[in-house]
Each structure stands twice: as structure tokens, then as C-alpha cells.
Amino acid sequence: MKDKARVLIAGVLLVILAGCLIWKSCTLQKEQTVLPPLDYSESTVTASNVYETAATHTDDSQPETEIVSVAVGSEEYQPSASEPWITRSRAEDIAERVRELHRQLPDFVGWLYMADSDIDYPVVQGTDNEYYLSHAPDGSYYRQGTLFLDYRCNRDLTSGTNIIFGHNMQQGMFGDIRSFRNAEAFDGHRYGWFFTPDNVYRIDFFALSIVSAYDVLYDVPADLNGWYDRILETAEFRRDAVISDKMIALSTCASDFRNARALFVGDLIKMDKEEDYIFLEE
């Protein structure tokens, strides 16, 4: 009887071990399938290469950045994030990407760009604020996620208050917002750009707030004046601003306290004419 019991126990253990090996194999195979590599190549934008960006990195210390610029005399000049201009070549490059992605991706909203930073990405909008935390713009699983507009805001940016979410990463996404948390860096990052299929917007950043993920600021759309007052109340850094009829915030995680969030906030100003935002040679 004891021998039979030993044989039975050994058989059960072998079955359990085999099951574990099969489960592990399937899990590894699934991970390889659902975690596609991020393609930062400079080829033509396609739905499978929607993360093409002008701010790629080859190592942790030296960013390899594609600079699109215009000639000024014998030098090339690219407006910084402290200047309210963008070069024609840069604007045309972004507009081309927007046209392609708008044609290919049903959730596409626009392209967010800020000089002197890694912020150079497509923005989408889902049916909730969870899906694109771990999906690429084309809907494939991607653990680094995609920048996305709050699902309650109007996709055409007609809401008075708008929030774009992105992960706080060591490199890329909204990780650079960490570096804006000192007076010099904050002062040097005044302007960003948001290109949609129909319009070009300049973002005039005026505040960086640290709040809870459950703060009333996340109840958007909201009353513009009340939202603005709350931003100033929670601002770690701020500057004078002429408030327009639309504001936008870039939201990412912060480490100040449990569920802390950083909001980099600005006016969203529609550019009606090219001469209002295209840098011209003097």
C-alpha cells in the first residue's frame, strides 16, 4: 500500500510540474506577442510606427535629437521653448504626421510638441482614462502607453478645460516635467504646440501644480474661472498669464506623496494665421 501511495504521489507531482512548465511557456509566448518593440526609426509614419519622434535616445547621457531648422545668415536656428515660434519646416513635418495618423487611427486627436524636451508625441482619446495607459495608438498592447486626452473632454478641443495624461518616465513621455520643477527650467519652457487635423494651437504654459489624483482639477470639463483659481492655489511655480477661453494641462505622476500628480498648465491659443507662429528669417 505504501508503495502504491508513493507512486500515486509521484505521479501527481509530475502532473503538477508539467502543468507549471506548460503555463510558463504559454505566458512567455504571450508576453513576446503583446509587447512589441518601440520603433523610433525616422521612416515614413505608419500606424505601426506612430511613436516616431524627433527626440530619440541612444544612451542615458547623450540624446540624439533630429533638429529641423532654418538658416539665419550662416547659422541654423531653432526656436527654443521660451520663444513663441516654430520653424516652417518643423510645422510642415508635424502637419504631415497629423494627416497620416488622422487617416489611419480612429482615436487620434493631434500631435503635441515642445522644444528643448522629449515631448514630441501623438495624442489619442479613448472611451475611458485607462485603456491608453498600456496601449499604443493603434490599439496594440504596449506597457509604456500613449499620451491621451481625458475621455470627457471634446476631441476637437472645444472644452474650456482639457487634460492630457502621460507616464512619468525616465526618458520620454512626460518625464521631462520633473525637470521643469526649478525656477530656471520652468522659466525656459514657456511654449508648446498642439497640431490637430483642423487647427494649430500654441500652448502658453503659466503654472506647474502638484495635486492629488483625486483633486477637483481632474473633474473636467469644469468652470474655467474656478479651474484657473484652483491651479494658482496649488501652483509650485507660476507666472502672469492672459487667460483665454481654453486651458490645457499635461498630467503625470509625481513622488511628493501617495497618489501625487504634476500638472503643467497653459492657455490653449488657436493660431489663425501662419505669420502668428511661423518663425521668419530677419
Digit-coded pLDDT (tens) for 10-33: 665 665 665 555 454 444 333 332
Strand partners, 41: none
CA distance between the termini of the chain:
99
Model pLDDT, residue 2: 53
- Mean pLDDT (whole number) for 24-53: 36
Sequence-ordered strand ranges (E) for 33-135: 55-57, 63-65, 70-72, 75-77, 108-113, 120-124
As a whole number of angstroms, the distance between CA 258 and CA 215 comes to 13
**Percent of the chain, pLDDT > 70?**
72
Higher-pLDDT residue of 9, 170: 170
Question: Please, are residues 164 and 147 in contact by the beta-carbon 8 Å criterion?
Answer: yes
Contacts of 272 (CB under 8 A, 6+ apart): none
Cell numbers given for 114: 515642445
Instruction: Say which amino acid occupies 157.
Output: L
| pLDDT confidence of residue 57 | 32
The dihedrals phi and psi of 110, each to the nearest 5 degrees, come to: 175, -170
The model carries a pTM of 0.75
**Nearest Cα residue to 121 out of 173, 160, 189, 63:** 173
Q: Is 259 helix (H, G, I), strand (E, B) or coil?
A: coil
Q: What share of the chain is helix, strand, coil (3-state, %, to 5)?
A: 30, 25, 45
Rounded to whole angstroms, the Cα distance separating 164 from 174 reads 10
